[in-house]
């Protein structure tokens, strides 16, 4: 069953869609389409990935009925701005999932925190996760290939735990079903396609990244809380102050230095404070 459909705003904006019941990887489908000359503006959506991947080549487990979706775009911007599309994706997921989840008191997980507004059950965890009640609900993976004309084809992969969350992870994970909100992957995708259309318009080929980051910060998990960032086996501990105007994580280290982080695995709360 691959009855995916675009939301009305996405259709009006001219996006296209290829739906799958099961697929190897929606990111792979997107990058192969780019290599074959697709101009971008096309979504690839599936209820299951058989060979999905996450950051740093990690396997991205996907139960049947979850949502795997990738948008292929060829943006007209400086390549250095392409990385900020991850924040566009985060804000888009936040909007879509917040519209699906009922409002209520946020339950804090051992590795999460509520959003800055104090109301939403959804929070964005730097750099690429979406939390619900403090547990991972969705993730984002950007991959890029250079085209013969010098432009970059960007595959923006988004995975949402709709019916089930992976087991045996070193951090808490949840699904819409676990949260008592049974939904079909097609419903989630339709909401996502419309929220992406709105947020991408705000991004405006990178010119509106400041406005996007403002929205991202408003739902950021853990600002003002203890944070631990692991990079190449080293752990930096401190206080998560904010993200700067290019999306770097700003940490006030234990020796009072302000350090800008461009990549790393981030942990909050009890996990950040634990010392082994």
Q: Tell me, what CATH number does 19's domain have?
A: 3.30.930.10
On whether both 54 and 123 belong to a single domain, the answer is yes
Residue 179, domain member (yes or no): yes
On whether both 174 and 253 belong to a single domain, the answer is no
* Enclosing H/E stretch for 80: helix 79-82
On whether both 127 and 237 belong to a single domain, the answer is no
Q: Is the pLDDT of residue 265 over 90?
A: no
Res 170: pLDDT: 78
Give the highest mean pLDDT range of 25-29, 117-121, 236-240: 25-29
- The structure's pTM equals 0.88
DSSP state of 2: -
On whether both 128 and 264 belong to a single domain, the answer is no
On whether both 143 and 263 belong to a single domain, the answer is no
On whether both 22 and 147 belong to a single domain, the answer is yes
**Do the bridges between strand 42-46 and strand 16-20 make them parallel or antiparallel, or are there none, so unpaired?**
parallel
On whether both 127 and 250 belong to a single domain, the answer is no
Distance CA 85, CA 131 (A): 19
DSSP, residue by residue, 93-117: HHHHHHHHSPP-PPPPPTT----TT
Could you list the residue range(s) of the whole structural domain that residue 193 is in? Answer: 8-218
Residue 173, domain member (yes or no): yes
Residue 1, domain member (yes or no): no
Q: Which of 193, 218, 243 is the last residue of a domain?
A: 218
pLDDT in tens, 209-226: 999 999 999 999 888 889
């Amino acid at each position: 069953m691959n009855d995916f459909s675009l939301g009305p705003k996405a259709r009006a904006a001219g996006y296209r869609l290829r739906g799958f019941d099961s697929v190897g990887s929606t990111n792979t489908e997107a990058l192969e389409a780019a290599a074959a000359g697709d101009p971008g503006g096309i979504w690839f959506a599936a209820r299951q990935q058989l060979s999905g991947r996450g950051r740093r080549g990690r396997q991205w487990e996907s139960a049947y009925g979850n949502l795997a979706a990738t948008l292929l775009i060829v943006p007209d911007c400086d390549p250095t701005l392409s990385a900020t599309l991850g924040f566009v994706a985060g804000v888009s997921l936040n909007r879509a999932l917040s519209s699906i989840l009922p409002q209520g008191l946020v339950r804090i997980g051992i590795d999460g925190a509520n959003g800055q507004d104090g109301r939403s059950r959804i929070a964005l965890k730097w750099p690429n996760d979406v939390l619900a009640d403090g547990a991972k609900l969705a993730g984002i993976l950007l991959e890029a290939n250079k085209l013969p004309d010098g432009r970059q084809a960007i595959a923006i992969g988004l995975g949402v735990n709709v019916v089930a969350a992976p087991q045996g992870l070193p951090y808490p994970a949840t699904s819409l079903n676990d949260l008592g909100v049974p939904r079909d992957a097609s419903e989630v995708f339709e909401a996502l396609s419309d929220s992406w259309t709105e947020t991408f318009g705000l991004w405006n080929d990178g010119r509106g990244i400041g406005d996007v980051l403002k929205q991202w910060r408003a739902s950021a998990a853990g600002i003002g809380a203890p944070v631990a960032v692991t990079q190449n086996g080293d752990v930096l501990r401190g206080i998560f102050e904010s993200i700067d105007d290019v999306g770097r994580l700003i940490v006030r280290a234990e020796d009072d230095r302000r350090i800008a982080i461009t990549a790393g695995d981030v942990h909050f709360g009890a996990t950040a404070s634990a010392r082994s």
